[in-house]
Chain A
Amino acid sequence: MKTELFRTCPESGLQFHKPAEMLTRANAVLAVVMLLIGGLSALAVTLTRWPAVHLLPADKFYQLLTFHGVNMLIFWIIFFEIAVLYFCSSTLLRCRLATPKIAWLGFFLMVAGAVVNNLAVLGGNASVMMTSYVPMPANPNFYLGLILFAVGALLGCFVFLGTLVVAKDEKTYEGSIPLVTFGALTACIIAIFTIAMGAVILIPTYMWSMGWISHIDAAMYRLLWWAFGHSSQQINVAAHVSVWYAIAAIVFGAKPLSEKVSRAAFFLYICFLQLASAHHLLVDPGLSSTWKIFNTSYAMYLAVLASMIHGLTVPGSIEVAQRAKGYTKGMFEWLRKAPWGNPVFSGMFISLIGFGFIGGITGVVMGTEQINIIIHNTIYVPGHFHATVVIGTTLAFMALTYFLIPVLFRRQVFLPGLAKWQPYIFGISMMVFTLVMMGAGTLGVERRHWDMAFTDAALGFDYPASAYTLMGLVGISGTMAIIGGGIYVLITVVSVFFGKRVESESPYSSATTRLMRAEPTVVPEGGHEAAGKFGFAAPGTFALAIFFLAVFVVYYAVNWKYLASVWPMS
């Protein structure tokens, strides 16, 4: 262990353990490869749903939509999350990574799983969408690939937990683990639950596809599959919120407003976030309203409360840090004078705003038991989750990448001028994309549907012209977003493989340093609040939060009103 395996990054002060560094790199690189192929299929899908273009024939559309869903929602995000887990354990805690060989085994299982699954889909007999609802059959390798991938990811989770044990045992840090590592631990716990649920449903489904089991009940499949499918998106929430806190700390030296509140909010995620799997079952037969109400509301919206807390404390911590640096004029000088030209910050902030205002609000609204009747399986649903998973998770990970390129990969960012614009191009076009998708969904346009004109159907239906306009805008904004994503892939790949090395030296040695407690907060004269206004340490953030709440209330009320206009049913 005391061989020359550690290096300290001179710019960030972070200490890397060589095996952890290599594993973080490998997982991050594979993540970007998955993002690239997922993005290429996204282009084909978007151009098909753009009515004026209608690019692909039906079979290719459903095939590539399946391919897009699996590569983006599962492979890109989980490869990156494993990288985040290794970074938040070994690197942040300045300790060696537990069992690097098992971590590599996990990595290769994930690669093998992704290859097996993708080959099954590209083979053409597994166009079943990511959800693979039984009894629609897929090539058995579709499920086998996912199972292999999940086992690999599970090994990664155990390596993360093992590394926390190593760090504690070898006393590489003082006191409690940092908030960001705590958030990563939350993601890891949710991931283990998620993967267990995946095993519970995917293994029998694999056996059914092999003919070893005769029947799988459709309702049971949906219940268990969503315990896996929705929970995997909750890993993302915990992971990208951790990344927000990390970026606030890296860019501003920000410190949580209070450790207690931010950690309690993560704990609420562990307790309640998984119940949201019920969001997918609100208009299913066979479940009672009591069950639906309790679960869809995460008990009593306690996980929503947690997200609303993070939504305040992340920008709040930035505001307090900025005010301490003297940006105290008015309510918003701290925000105006933030480094908007630094993609690490701008990406993170657009991610926060898009996730909260678009993804968060619409998720809660459509997860309301009765309101789901006017939204279920319309294109509103992918509109919502592109706001959470793409603007929220993907953009947060992109922002973190701009920090990792010099620090982890020791390369200069290729085309820094373009990198400055990338979060805006990607984030803003994605915001438009999600909003017009949800608009079309409100008009009843279906998700996962090749032909909104029903050209070959025996009975026809005409959507209003506005639905076609909105779907045209989906095509345009989707293409713009894919260009934004393409710029990210270009910058990342060229920087990492062909980029100029950073000038400073970061040699490996056997020397390690201990992770010390944060400096005690210097309480300004007159208390914390003195730096803020009206007795509030972060008045600007509070004003933004009140604005958010007002938008939330109005949008929630509008949807009840819309629901009240449809046929009475009981």
Chain B
Amino acid sequence: MTSIQPPSEILWWKQPLDRVEGTWIALALVWSLIMFVMMPMWHIYGKQNLSNEAYRTTPAAYMAKTQAMVDQYTDRTMTDQKIPVVKPPPGSDVYLLGRLWQWWPIIELEKGQTYRLHIASMDWQHGFSLQPQNINVQILPGYEMVLTITPDTSGDQTIICNEYCGIGHHNMVGKILVTEGGS
């Protein structure tokens, strides 16, 4: 038994490296560096990056901004709860809020256009999970996150909450509708 005994050599740190270990360490180090470099490279050449643009906010201030957008751009309502469907113009600031247990309002975007999507929580922590795109970000109370997104597929996307937020968590569903646009 040896790994559970003191090293046999007094000067064990002077023991030469075995060829197996040396080769593997070199390979593993190169791979580690490649993986490290991939992340900044994707910021330069890739198209899916978080801007990390975020602001401190309060529920009241964020609600006011969202309400102003809803008042200005509501097109129609959906479901018995009369959830407003908002059609903001391309390039504009779009406000989405998460609260127990709803994403509000429903947002309609045009394919191929770019929007500044703001998201914040009114109460507890929530998870913005856009399906079936599978885009997932963390939403916190007190922080307004901004994603500059360009929907490149049309159709309905569903926003699910993927941060546990209490007993109604599994009913917290919202929608982003993407139209073909082109008008």
Contacts and interface: CB of A to CB of B under 8 A. Distances in A.
B62 to A, nearest CB: 12
A10 B12 CA distance: 30
A301 B38 CA distance: 12
Contact of B24 (A376, A532, A545): A545
A376 B127 contact: yes
Interface string A358-380: 00000010001110011111100
B32 A304 contact: yes
Contact of B136 (A177, A375, A458): A375
Contact of A246 (B4, B12, B32): B4
Given A285-B145, A370-B49, A444 B21 contact: no
Interface in B163-183: 163-167, 169-175
A179 B9 CA distance: 13
A101 to B, nearest CB: 27
A333 interface: no
B141 interface: yes
A458 B81 contact: yes
A289 B153 contact: no
A566 B38 CA distance: 18
A518 B2 contact: yes
B72 interface: no
Contacts of B169: 62, 448-450
A339 B137 CA distance: 47
8 contacts: A219-B143, A250-B4, A256-B3, A289-B52, A293-B39, A446-B161, A537-B19, A568-B150
Interface string A123-141: 0000101000111100000
B18 A537 contact: yes
Interface stretch (A31-39, A308-316, A344-352, A474-482): A308-316
B162 A308 contact: no
Contacts of B160: 444, 446, 454, 461
The size class of the interface chain A forms with chain B is 35 or more
B43 interface: yes
Interface stretch (A16-24, A153-161, A413-421, A549-557): A549-557
A376 B137 contact: yes
A446 to B, nearest CB: 4
Nearest to A183: B3
A564 interface: yes
A521 B165 CA distance: 58
Contacts of B25: 261, 305, 309
Interface string A529-548: 10010011111011001100
A439 to B, nearest CB: 13
A41 interface: no
A286 B3 CA distance: 45
Contacts of B61: none
Given A58-B170, A312-B24, A568-B152, A378 B135 contact: no
B125 to A, nearest CB: 5
Query: What 5 pairs across the A-B complex have the smallest Cβ distances?
Result: A301-B32, A255-B2, A285-B54, A249-B3, A285-B145
Contacts of A542: 20, 23-24
Given A286-B54, A460-B173, A517-B6, A136 B47 contact: no
Interface in B84-135: 102, 106, 123-125, 127, 129, 131-135
Given A218-B142, A305-B29, A368 B39 contact: yes
Contacts of A566: 48, 133-135
A319 B13 CA distance: 22
B36 to A, nearest CB: 5
Given A217-B142, A536-B20, A457 B136 contact: no
Interface string A192-208: 00000000000000000
B39 A541 contact: no
A297 B6 contact: no
A526 interface: no
A567 B47 CA distance: 8
Contacts of B79: 458-459
Contact of B15 (A246, A258, A284, A532): A258
A560 B52 CA distance: 20
B170 A180 contact: no
A316 B21 contact: yes
A459 B10 CA distance: 70
Nearest to A319: B20
A369 B163 CA distance: 19
Given A175-B7, A176-B12, A259-B12, A136 B54 contact: no
A102 interface: no
B138 A302 contact: no
A300 B49 contact: no
B48 A568 contact: yes
B120 to A, nearest CB: 8
B33 A444 contact: no
A481 to B, nearest CB: 23
Interface in A98-154: 127, 129, 133-136
Given A175-B7, A180-B3, A283 B136 contact: yes
A213 interface: no
Contact of A569 (B106, B149, B161): B149
A4 interface: no
Contact of A289 (B21, B43, B136): B43
Contacts of B143: 218-219, 285-286
